[in-house]
Amino acid sequence: MKVTVVFALLAAVASAIPEEGYNYQAPGGQGFQYPSAPAQYAFQWDVNHAPSGNFYGHKEQREDANTQGSYYVQLPDGRRLLVEYYVDATGYHPTVTFEGEAQYPSGGNRGYGQSGQGSSQGSPSQLYGTPSK
C-alpha cells in the first residue's frame, strides 16, 4: 500500500513539471548579480518566564569578518551558564563560565518529581536531587 502511494506521488510530481522547462529570467536580464556588501548586523533576544523557570537569551553582532556574541541559560541548580564567543577565519572560539553556586535541596527527593516516585504525570518538578558520583 505504501509503495503504491509513494509511486503515485512521484508520478504526480513528475507530470507537474512543464516540458519546456521553467525559463525564469533573473531580474535585470542574464548575468545579473546582486552587489556584494560587507556583513553587518546585531541582534539580541531574551526569555524570562518565571512560572516555568525559563531564563535564557542570546546576542550577537557582526561587522565584516568580526563576529562576537554571547548566550546564557539559567540552570536547574541555580547557576547561570554563560558562553561568550568570537568567530574568525579559524573557527568558533567560546569561553564558558558559570555564575553563582549550585544549590541542591536537602531531603530524599532524587529529582524524579514532587513525590520522588519517578512519575511522569503532572507538571515537572522544580526540585532537583544531588548528582550521584
pLDDT of 59-116, one tens digit each? 999 998 899 999 999 998 999 999 999 998 899 999 999 999 999 877 555 554 444 4
pLDDT at position 92 is: 94
pLDDT at 26 over 70: no
Mark out the alpha helices in the chain (DSSP H runs). 2-16
**pTM of the full structure:** 0.54
Q: What are the residues whose beta carbons fall under 8 Å from the beta carbon of 67, sequence distance 6 or more?
A: 60, 61, 86, 87, 88
pLDDT at 27 over 70: no
| Domain spans, the chain | 37-117
Check: CB of residue 56 under 8 Å from CB of residue 46: yes
